[in-house]
Amino acid sequence: MIVSCHGIELSDAFMSVSKAISNKITNPILEGIKIVAEDDTLTLSATDTELSIEKKIKANIKEEGEAVVPGKFITEFIKKLTNEMIELELNDKNQMIIKYDDSQSTIQCYNVLEYPSFKKLESANYFGIAKKDLKTLIAKTIFSVAVDDSRPILKGVLFDIDKNTINAIALDGYRLAKVKKNITSSLTTSIVIPAKSLNEISRLLDDSEDVINVYVDKSTIMVDFGDTKLTSRLLEGDFVNYKQIIAANYETVCVINKGQFEDALERASLLSKVGQGNCVKFDVKEKNLCITSNSELGHVKENVPVNTTGKELLIAFNARYFIENLRANSDEFVKICFNSPANPCVIVPVEGDEFLYLILPVRMIG
């Protein structure tokens, strides 16, 4: 293999695929990044067997070939050569010679035959979605994914696909996030994508209306960005029947300015963090929502104007769950719906059904 290309493009490619290298290496070959030089294209790929990323860049291919280089080392090394033209040459000792300016370095490569294959899904079923919509689906749900291992299926986000509509759902036992978007599809299926994979997908997305295809089979998805492809294994198991958790009707509904509500909650939570459980109380009246928090340090009382229909209510929550939900949304006003101090509440838009956040209350003491 002999290939030359711009350092900035090569560095960007190494940085992109290196995200798929696991920090917990059980198989040394998975520390590598595979390089394939063919025609006028240099293809880089990395995998931890759960997540795989492939990126193609244009290059001057003098001699075709393939190699597996130490991933973290070469990523950091090439990052310091972004202003250089770089030549990569694989010698007969399976060493990669890196030539730049009037200098060169040599690194030992892995056995390319031991590297796992990169699964292709171009012929599988797929749906099309705008980049900004997929980014929104991830950003508005992923903070509700479970972080412990007691129920592994909850460490991912459910994508519930019904032809031209997709609902993304995440829950951790204390709160639930559901976001709805339109897609182009003829599929009716449900898949659970690991949170780690979704974080990497999100990094590759922008806020454009450009449509990308997401390919799906029983165990894998592949997101096609054109010159970059990300493949992820899906989580196996039965997800929670989230539809049974969400009540059909609510006895108390209040409309509130999201910004005012968020600011008041953040101030109250500063004090509640000093105590136990990050707990704040909501006293819901017809025209006012009173938020209180107490600790050994003191007492905070915040009043936020609301427009409430239904019964008055006193209820307590973990402030962090509310704040994370509110930060994920840009709506000026939201609706908060309650039934009783022992039942979960939901945050929904004033109009439409694009999102729904469900939060369990905490038992009030005293």
pLDDT (tens digit per residue) in 7-55: 999 999 999 999 999 777 778 999 999 999 999 999 999 999 999 999 9
Please list the residues that pair with 88 across neighbouring strands.
3, 98
Looking at the predicted structure, is the pLDDT value of residue 314 above 90?
Answer: yes
Asked if residue 65 lies in contact with residue 92, where contact means CB atoms within 8 angstroms, the answer is no
Asked if residue 291 lies in contact with residue 301, where contact means CB atoms within 8 angstroms, the answer is yes
Architecture of domain 125-243: Roll (3.10)
pLDDT digits (tens, 9 = 90+) for 207-222: 999 999 999 998 999 9
pLDDT of residue 295: 79
What is the DSSP code (8-state) at residue 75? H
Mean pLDDT of 304-333: 94
Mean pLDDT of 175-200: 95
Comparing 120 with 88, the larger pLDDT belongs to 88
pLDDT of residue 172: 94
Number of H helices and number of E strands within the chain? 6, 25
pLDDT of residue 22: 79
How is domain 2-114 classified at the CATH fold level?
DNA Polymerase III; Chain A, domain 2 (3.10.150)
pLDDT digits (tens, 9 = 90+) for 215-256: 999 899 999 999 999 999 999 999 999 999 999 999 999 999
Same fold, 2-114 and 246-359: yes
Tokens of 287: 């025209």
Asked if residue 124 lies in contact with residue 216, where contact means CB atoms within 8 angstroms, the answer is yes
Looking at the predicted structure, is the pLDDT value of residue 275 above 60?
Answer: no
In angstroms, the Cα distances linking 228 to 57, 222, 269 are: 9, 10, 42
In angstroms, the Cα distances linking 95 to 60, 73, 205 are: 20, 14, 35
246-359: CATH homologous superfamily? Answer: DNA Polymerase III, subunit A, domain 2 (3.10.150.10)
Domain ranges of the chain: 2-114, 125-243, 246-359
pLDDT of residue 118: 78
